C-alpha cells in the first residue's frame, strides 16, 4: 500500500472516491491572543500564553516543542475541548465554542471502539452525521487507507499502524475541514512510523484538509509540514514560525537533502536556546 500510495502522491492522481467531497476553501484557523490557564482551588497554571497564529486552508502545520510546553492544550483549544481564558479561536470565521464534526481528531492512543469492527468504527461517524451514503463513505475510506480486506476484523486483530490508519479514516469520514493530530504515531515503532508518515502525506495530498499535527520529533515535523511552529517551555508561546520549503512529494530518502538538514538544524537551534533559557530561569 505504501508504495502505491506514494506513487499516486507523486502522480497527483485520485486514490478513490473518498476525497470527492473534500473542499480546499475551508479550514482557515485564526488564533488570536490566546491564553489558557488551568486551575482549581489549590492554584493555577498558565499552559499557553499570548498566542496568535493564522493557519491557511490546506496548510500542514506542525506544533513542535518539548513535553509539557502546551502543544496539546493549544490543539484542544482548536478542537473545542478547552475554552481559552483569554483570546479567541475561530474556524472559517466562526468562533469555536465546543467540539464539532468540522474538526477530526486523531490521538496517540488509537481510541477505536473494541467491540465494533473496523468498518463499524468508521461508519459510525458518517451515520451519526446523517450521511445518507454512510456505508459507501465508510467503504471508500477503508479503501483509502488500504484496509478493505480487514473490514470485518476487530481492532485487537490489527497491528498498531493499521489501527492508526483506521483512526485516520474514521477522523476523515465526516469530511472535516481540519484534522487535529496529537502525536498520532508516538506509540508506533520507528519503521512503522516512517511508513505512516508517508501514508499520511498521500492521504492529505488527496484529501486537502488543513492539518495541525503535534509532535516533539524534529525529523517528523520537517518531513511532514509546510510550516513549523516551535513552542517555548511553559508557559507555551510560539517562539519560531518556520516555513518548510522541502519540495513535495516527500520521501524518507529526502532526509539527507541540504534543505531538510538545514531546517532541522534551525529547529534544534531554537529548541536548544529555549531549553537553556528555561534552565537558567529555574536556577535564578
Ligand atoms: P504538551 O502537549 O506540550 O506535552 P500539555 O498541553 O499537555 O503539553 O500541558 C501543558 C501544561 O499544562 C503541563 O504543565 C500540564 O501538566 C498542564 N496541564 C495539561 N492539562 C491540564 C489539565 N487538564 N489540568 C491542569 N493542568 C494541565
pTM attached to this predicted model? 0.92
Residues lining ligand 1, CB < 6 A?
A: 38, 45, 47, 65, 67-73, 234
Superfamily name and number for 2-113+179-282: P-loop containing nucleotide triphosphate hydrolases (3.40.50.300)
State pLDDT tens for residues 180-231.
999 999 999 999 999 999 999 999 998 889 999 999 999 999 999 999 999 9
**E strand or H helix that includes residue 203:** helix 190-207
- From 51, 71, 73, 274, give the residue whose CB has the most ligand 1 atoms within 8 Å, as the site to mutate: 73
Distance of alpha carbon 117 from alpha carbon 165, whole angstroms: 14
Distance of alpha carbon 104 from alpha carbon 171, whole angstroms: 5
Q: Are strands 210-215 and 178-182 parallel, antiparallel or unpaired?
A: parallel
Beta-sheet strands, E only, within the chain: 29-40, 43-55, 60-64, 86-91, 94-95, 103-106, 178-182, 210-215, 227-231, 238-243
Determine the atom of ligand 1 nearest the C-alpha atom of 72.
2
| Nearest-CA residue for atom 12 of ligand 1 | 47
State pLDDT tens for residues 108-141.
888 899 999 999 999 999 999 999 999 999 999 9
Largest CA distance in the chain: 62
Residue 15 scores a pLDDT above 80: no
Lookup: cell for 124:
459510525
Residue 87 scores a pLDDT above 60: yes
- From 37, 47, 85, 212, give the residue whose CB has the most ligand 1 atoms within 8 Å, as the site to mutate: 47
| Nearest-CA residue for atom 7 of ligand 1 | 72
- From 43, 46, 68, give the residue whose CB has the most ligand 1 atoms within 8 Å, as the site to mutate: 68
Amino acid at each position: 500500500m505504501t508504495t502505491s500510495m506514494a506513487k499516486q502522491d507523486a502522480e497527483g492522481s485520485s486514490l478513490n472516491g473518498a476525497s470527492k467531497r473534500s473542499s480546499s476553501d475551508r479550514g482557515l484557523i485564526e488564533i488570536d491572543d490566546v491564553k489558557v490557564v488551568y486551575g482549581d482551588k489549590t492554584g493555577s497554571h498558565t499552559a499557553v500564553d499570548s498566542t496568535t497564529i493564522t493557519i491557511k486552508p490546506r496548510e500542514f502545520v506542525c506544533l513542535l516543542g518539548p513535553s509539557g510546553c502546551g502543544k496539546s492544550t493549544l490543539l484542544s483549544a482548536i478542537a473545542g475541548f478547552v475554552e481559552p481564558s483569554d483570546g479567541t479561536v475561530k474556524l472559517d470565521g466562526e468562533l469555536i465554542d465546543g467540539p464539532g464534526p468540522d474538526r477530526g481528531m486523531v490521538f496517540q492512543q488509537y481510541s477505536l471502539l473494541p467491540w465494533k469492527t473496523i468498518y463499524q468504527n468508521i461508519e459510525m461517524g458518517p451515520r451519526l452525521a446523517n450521511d445518507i451514503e454512510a456505508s459507501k463513505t465508510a467503504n471508500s475510506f477503508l479503501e483509502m487507507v488500504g484496509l478493505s480486506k480487514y473490514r470485518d476484523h476487530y481492532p485487537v486483530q490489527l497491528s498498531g499502524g493499521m489501527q492508526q490508519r483506521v483512526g485516520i479514516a474514521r477522523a476523515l469520514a465526516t469530511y472535516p475541514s481540519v484534522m487535529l493530530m496529537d502525536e498520532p504515531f508516538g506509540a508506533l515503532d520507528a519503521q512503522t512510523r516512517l511508513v505512516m508518515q508517508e501514508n499520511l502525506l498521500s492521504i492529505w495530498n488527496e484529501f486537502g484538509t488543513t492539518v495541525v499535527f503535534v509532535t516533539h520529533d524534529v525529523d517528523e515535523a520537517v518531513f511532514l509540514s509546510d510550516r513549523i511552529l516551535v513552542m517555548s517551555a511553559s508557559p507555551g508561546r510560539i517562539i519560531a514560525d518556520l516555513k518548510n520549503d522541502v519540495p513535495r512529494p516527500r520521501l524518507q530518502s529526502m532526509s539527507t537533502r541540504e534543505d531538510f538538514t538545514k531546517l532541522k538544524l534551525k529547529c534544534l537551534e531554537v529548541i536548544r536556546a529555549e531549553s537553556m533559557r528555561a534552565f537558567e530561569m529555574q536556577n535564578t
